[in-house]
């Protein structure tokens, strides 16, 4: 069995997986969402303190399995440095105490493995990675070599939901909030323009769309209280505003129109990728892959290219240690241990292999 620790952002999670059949023997995740929601986003220093409080207790709850462990795995890249550190220190201490080797896992590789939690991986594979920190189209070759075909040049898909939600005065994280509110809105009420329309560039850009949301909020605020601009919500404000000055139906219309165009942008660029790749399997991973509108559009896209669409179980779309354990099991079978495990907060996926 392998014990894996994940703490790269705002979730403290531990999993133990059997190397023989990928079954999960132990799994726990303590989310810090409620604590960060008060500030409208992740506060690094708070995340570090909460990881330091949570991880030792979660690890000790798995104590009965310690005797069966063969290695300790931990996310060491990329992520918030102050969040990665408590996980790495805990992993090193546990490995030293139990005299076990360490396995380092790239968080993004972990997200890819969330597709194959209980089965062997399918290659070659196309992947869309949509999370709070990343938006990427990946190609994974027959031998497991990862190539980044396209990425965002500014905000990520998830981040654009978080920031738009903040401007609308909704809670954090913004993805689920926007998705729920959008159900009550008219997704054609606002004619937001599609980013990079008509270009052939295989990349994403969400900052222009976010700005269109900002302007729509501003216009509504101004039309109600022309003289008072002091309460216009800002994506950068630390405290989420209630923004009660925008009527709720208008908020729902903005949320629905934003979500429609954000998802269309994902699909529009993916069509470019599909036209040059011959994928038999396509996986969608990361916390924002939970978005139901995006899932529906991806189903249509993959059906039209006769490509099998793969999702992780909903519970394992957002950050979790089960996907880290699954990636670690693959490394364990390759005897890929790490003697000097270091943290790399800003690493990328380029030239990494998944098997």
Q: How far is the CB of 173 from ligand KG4 (least distance, A)?
A: 4
Helices (H), ranges, the chain: 33-37, 44-61, 81-98, 107-113, 157-167, 174-182, 207-224, 248-276, 292-304, 321-333
The interface partner of residue 221, options being Zn ion, ligand KG4, none and the CB cut-off 5 to 8 Å by kind, is: none
Decide if 243 contacts 225 (C-beta within 8 A): no
Options 86-94, 129-137, 203-211, 271-279: segment touching ligand KG4 (CB under 6 A): 129-137
With contact defined as beta carbons under 8 Å apart, do 211 and 322 qualify? no
Contact string (CB under 6 A) for ligand KG4, positions 310-329, x = contact:
--------xx----------
Work out how close the CB of 245 gets to Zn ion at its nearest, in angstroms, rounded to a whole number. 34
Q: What backbone torsions phi and psi does residue 136 show, to the nearest 5 degrees?
A: -145, 150
> Interface residues with Zn ion (CB under 5 A)?
131, 319
- Cα–Cα nearest to 96, from 75, 118, 77, 72: 72
Figure out which of the listed residues 176, 185, 195, 283 binds ligand KG4, where binding follows CB under 6 A.
Answer: 176
Task: Confirm or reject binding of residue 150 to ligand KG4 (CB under 6 A).
Answer: no
Task: Work out the burial of residue 238: count CB atoms within 10 Å of its CB; fewer than 13 is exposed, 13-18 middle, 19 or more buried.
Answer: exposed
Burial class of residue 162, CB neighbours in 10 A (0-12, 13-18, 19+): buried
Of 10 and 259, nearer to Zn ion (C-beta) is 10
Q: How far is the CB of 26 from ligand KG4 (least distance, A)?
A: 21
Per rule CB under 6 A, is residue 40 in the interface with ligand KG4? no
Assigned token pair, 206: 């969400």
Give the one residue of 255, 284, 288, 321 binding ligand KG4; rule: CB under 6 A. 288
Q: Does 283 bind ligand KG4 (CB under 6 A)?
A: no
286 binds ligand KG4 (CB under 6 A): yes
What does each C-alpha distance from 68 to 14, 17, 19, 59, 225 come to in angstroms?
16, 11, 11, 14, 66
Q: Report the partner that residue 179 touches, choosing among Zn ion, ligand KG4, none (CB closer than 5 to 8 A by kind).
A: ligand KG4
Only one of the segments 126-134, 244-252, 271-279, 300-308 lies at the binding site for ligand KG4 (rule: CB under 6 A); that segment is: 126-134
**Binding of residue 131 to ligand KG4 (CB under 6 A):** yes
Strand, coil or helix: 144: coil
User: 106 with 347: CB under 8 angstroms?
Assistant: yes
CB count within 10 Å of CB 38 equals 13
Q: Which span (33-41, 128-136, 230-238, 239-247) binds ligand KG4, by CB under 6 A?
A: 128-136
Binding residue count for ligand KG4, defined by CB under 6 A: 20
- The answer to whether 178 and 259 are in contact (CB under 8 A) is yes
Select the binding partner of residue 327 from Zn ion, ligand KG4, none (C-beta < 5 to 8 A, by kind): none
Choose the contact partner of 235 out of Zn ion, ligand KG4, none; CB within 5 to 8 A by kind: none
List residues binding ligand KG4 (CB under 6 A). Answer: 9, 131-133, 158-159, 161-162, 173-176, 179, 286-288, 290-291, 318-319
């Amino acid at each position: 069995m392998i014990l894996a620790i994940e703490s790269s952002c705002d979730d403290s999670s531990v999993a133990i997986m059997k190397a023989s059949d990928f079954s999960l023997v132990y799994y726990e995740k303590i989310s810090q969402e409620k604590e960060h929601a008060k500030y409208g986003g992740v506060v690094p220093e708070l995340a570090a303190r909460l990881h330091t409080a949570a991880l030792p207790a979660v690890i000790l709850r798995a104590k009965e399995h310690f005797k069966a462990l063969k290695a300790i795995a931990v996310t060491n890249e990329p992520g918030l440095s102050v969040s990665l550190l408590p996980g790495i220190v805990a992993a090193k201490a546990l490995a030293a105490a139990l005299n076990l080797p360490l396995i380092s896992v790239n968080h993004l590789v972990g997200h890819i493995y969330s597709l194959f939690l209980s089965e062997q991986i399918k290659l070659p594979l196309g992947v869309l990675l949509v999370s709070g920190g990343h938006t990427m189209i990946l190609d994974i070759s027959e031998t497991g070599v990862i190539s980044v075909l396209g990425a965002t040049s500014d905000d990520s898909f998830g981040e654009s939901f978080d920031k738009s939600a903040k401007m609308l005065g909704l809670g954090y994280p913004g993805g689920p909030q926007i998705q729920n509110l959008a159900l009550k809105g008219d997704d054609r009420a606002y004619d937001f323009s599609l980013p990079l329309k008509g270009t052939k560039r295989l990349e994403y850009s969400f900052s222009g769309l976010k700005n269109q949301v900002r302007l729509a909020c501003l216009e509504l605020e101004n039309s109600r209280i022309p003289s008072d601009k002091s309460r216009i919500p800002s994506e950068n404000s630390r405290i989420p505003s209630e923004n009660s000055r925008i009527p709720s139906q208008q908020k729902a219309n903005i949320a629905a129109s934003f979500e429609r165009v954000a998802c269309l942008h994902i699909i529009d660029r993916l069509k470019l990728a599909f036209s040059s790749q011959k994928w038999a399997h396509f996986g969608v991973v990361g916390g924002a892959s939970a978005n139901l509108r995006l899932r529906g559009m991806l189903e249509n896209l993959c059906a039209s290219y006769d490509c099998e669409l793969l999702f992780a179980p909903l519970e394992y779309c957002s950050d979790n240690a089960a996907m880290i354990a699954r990636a670690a099991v693959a490394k364990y079978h390759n005897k890929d241990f790490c003697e000097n495990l270091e943290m790399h907060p800003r690493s990328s996926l380029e030239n990494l292999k998944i098997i």
